[in-house]
């Protein structure tokens, strides 16, 4: 009985050992785990490759969330690497996809055909009686050496989110000058008043600039409320960007720390989504600013300002 997922093969096609493919990839610094060994059969005809791919049980979790499961699509891309496996010590990795079109969702098995295309390799992914699932006009590959892959693996660290309790120092022990900047959307000023006898307030950065010009001392810590549920995400991000740019350019504030406070911009519990989308956008933006200016910007997210 014929396999309905098997592509139609030319007479000259020769079968390639699956174990050999994954062994060669591992030798070149690309060891695929069980969940991503989706190739089931491969045939080669010069520069053209024919393959069968199937979603393994180890990789099938959450498959209903995808039009095409990433592990199954990755197996199809692996087939495109076959012609180069025995040529030299370089491995060609998928670099760019052009002209990708999804025809049918939910496939668990694929027939794969790869062949030279416009500036790269074209892919035809089918199921059943040859019904198209995905077509890729061009897959561009780039060479990478084993040494490069080994160096990248040594730099890679597994990152995970952890939450640690931080002991709050007594307010009386903090002798720094504090200030609040802008409009208070979530009650931050009330929380500051409860722990500090006094702090300066400025309606805008221009007002702070005017005070500094008049001889006021630069504050050590400036707090900004960046949560505004009535503000569009784009507007919140643009305001935060402008604030950070002007702040960074002012030499008088070089030793000051800007603290941006949001409420609900982060999800701290499983199955929880952020409730403050504008604040979440600001967090993403400010993480880049923090890497460029270490120590100058602090992000704080609260569920209750107090």
Residues 229 and 129 in one domain: no
Residues 27 and 144 in one domain: yes
DSSP SS3 for 10:
coil
Contacts 24+ apart (CB under 8 A), 126-131: 126/5, 126/7, 127/4, 127/5, 128/4, 128/5, 129/4, 130/7, 130/8, 131/103, 131/104
- Is residue 240 in some structural domain? yes
- Is residue 123 in some structural domain? yes
- When divided into structural domains, the chain yields a total of 2
Domain membership of residue 97 as a residue range: 14-152
CATH code, domain carrying 130: 3.10.129.120
State both tokens at 50: 């024919």
DSSP E strand stretches across the chain: 14-16, 39-45, 48-54, 90-102, 109-117, 120-127, 131-145, 178-181, 200-202, 221-225, 257-262, 297-301
Residues 148 and 188 in one domain: no
Residues 224 and 276 in one domain: yes
How much is the pLDDT for 59?
59
Distance CA 279, CA 226 (A): 6
CATH code, domain carrying 207: 3.40.50.11460
Chunk the chain into consecutive blocks of 10 residues (it has 306) and report each block's average pLDDT, rounded to whole numbers: 63 91 86 90 92 78 77 92 77 86 92 88 88 93 75 64 75 77 85 77 92 92 82 82 90 92 82 80 86 88 74
């Amino acid at each position: 009985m014929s396999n309905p997922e098997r592509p139609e093969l030319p007479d000259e096609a020769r079968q390639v050992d699956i174990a050999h493919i994954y062994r060669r990839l591992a030798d070149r610094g690309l060891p695929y785990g069980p969940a991503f060994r989706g190739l089931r059969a491969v045939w080669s005809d010069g520069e053209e490759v024919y393959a069968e791919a199937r979603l393994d049980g180890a990789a099938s979790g959450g498959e209903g969330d995808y039009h095409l499961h990433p592990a199954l699509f990755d197996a199809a891309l692996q087939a495109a690497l076959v012609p180069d496996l025995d040529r030299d010590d370089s491995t060609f990795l998928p670099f760019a996809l052009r002209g990708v079109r999804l025809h049918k969702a939910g496939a668990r098995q694929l027939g794969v055909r790869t062949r030279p295309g416009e500036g790269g390799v074209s892919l035809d992914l089918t199921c059943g009686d040859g019904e198209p699932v995905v077509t890729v006009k061009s897959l561009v590959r780039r060479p990478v050496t084993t040494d490069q892959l080994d160096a990248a693996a040594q730099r890679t660290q597994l990152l995970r989110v952890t939450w640690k309790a931080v002991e709050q120092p007594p307010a009386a022990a903090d002798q720094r000058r504090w200030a609040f900047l802008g409009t208070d959307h979530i009650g931050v000023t009330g929380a500051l008043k409860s722990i500090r006898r006094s702090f300066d307030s400025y309606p805008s950065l221009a007002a702070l600039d005017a005070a500094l010009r008049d001889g006021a001392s630069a504050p050590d810590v400036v707090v900004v409320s960046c949560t505004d549920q009535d503000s569009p995400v784009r507007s919140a991000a643009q305001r935060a960007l402008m604030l950070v740019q002007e702040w960074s350019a002012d030499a008088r504030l070089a030793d000051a720390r800007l603290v941006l406070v949001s409420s609900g911009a982060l999800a701290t519990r499983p199955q929880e989504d952020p409730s403050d989308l504008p604040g979440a956008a600001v967090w993403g933006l400010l993480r880049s600013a923090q890497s460029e200016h270490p120590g100058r910007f602090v992000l704080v997210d609260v569920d209750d300002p107090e």
